[in-house]
Amino acid sequence: MRVVILGCGVSGLSCGVRLLEAGHSVEIWARELPPHTTSDVAAAVWYPYRAFPQERVTAWAGRTLEELCTLATQPDTGVRRVLGIELLLWPAPDPWWSPSVPGFRRATPAELLPGFVDGFVFEAPVIDMRRYLPYLLARFRRLGGSVLQREVRSLDEAFEVAPLVINCTGLGSRSLLGDETLFPIRGEVLRVAPLPLERFLLDEQDEARGMTYLIPRIDDCILGGTAVEGSWSLEPDPAQAEAILARAARLLPPGTRLQVLQHLVGLRPGRPAVRLELEQVGGRHVLHNYGHGGAGVTLSWGCAEEVVSLVSQVAGDASRVGPARHPSSTGRTHGK
């Protein structure tokens, strides 16, 4: 089938790659392209954060974990497998996603930092989005996909050129579709010079103090973070930066120097449940894939493969009723 995907973040690109591999003709339309998407700001480490419902998220996250571990064997992807620990101020049961992670275990006393009583140890992919998104975009184009940089205000614009639209617009679906269940979860992170860290560290139990994560990447480290529901501001907050630095310092050896390279802000697409479903609009099909909360990267490949399965159903139905004519697109490929 001919398919138009709306959105060029990690969800749109992952869907595009899988659909092209399945033999479909795919064009991505997006207002912003990498490196200017919400996905570019992601930390990012595999972790099912603020995404629901658990049953579907577990399946999507597990499949994505497998794919990211495969990509970690290729040096140009920006994906690495890193051992990490989630530190606990008080005992807690194993997280619901733990069955998806081979080798998940409890921390030993020697692995805990002062002040913590327990922890989860697991190996997970760490994704440098400055490398990963260009890799996905290049892979998409090598497979024959095209990209058009344009703002879309109505699904009808895409239906003019394709019988099937994949909606991966994230928070943009609030205005595009009028989906008022979507809400921003504002996140701030700091990109700092490399630190003497061999593992990532997570500390998210103390909501009063704020979440803390330290994620070592190839040539820098990400410190986080915040999760402010309902805030649409993309302006970096100097007070939040100071608070992030202070929280990070508590998890580092005394005297560790923190050199801030960049202060980044992004809006996670919060929703009571991820929307991955097929909808008929005036006899045409739109397949929604948005509302991934703080787990867009973590769910990306699992969701993309479910999208391909649903597209195959639509293609099968279309083949039974005969081909339809659709005008061709005249847009050329744009980039930044």
Q: In which element (H, E) is residue 241 found?
A: helix 238-250
Alpha carbon distance 5, 94 (integer Å): 37
Roughly how many angstroms between the first and final C-alpha of the chain, as a whole number?
A: 28
Give the pLDDT of residue 318: 62
Architecture of domain 2-321: 3-Layer(aba) Sandwich (3.40)
The answer to whether the CB of 208 falls within 8 A of the CB of 243 is no
pLDDT of residue 330: 32
Quick one: which of 68, 104, 65 has its CA closest to 84?
A: 104
Q: Which segments in the chain show pLDDT lower than 50? A: 322-336
For residue 36, the model assigns a pLDDT of: 95
* Cα gap 76→139, rounded to integer Å: 11
Handedness of CA 31, 327, 290, 229 (dihedral sign): positive
| Tokens coding 61 | 């996250």
The residues that bridge with 275 in the sheet, in sequence order, are 290
pLDDT of residue 336: 26
Cα–Cα distance, 280 to 112 (Å, whole number): 52
Residue 153, judged by CB atoms within 10 A of its CB (0-12, 13-18, 19+), counts as: exposed
Residue 136 has phi, psi (to 5 degrees) of -65, -40
Cα dihedral sign for 30, 35, 37, 39? positive
- Amino acid, single-letter form, for residue 265: V
pLDDT at 319: 61
- Give residue limits of the domains in the chain: 2-321
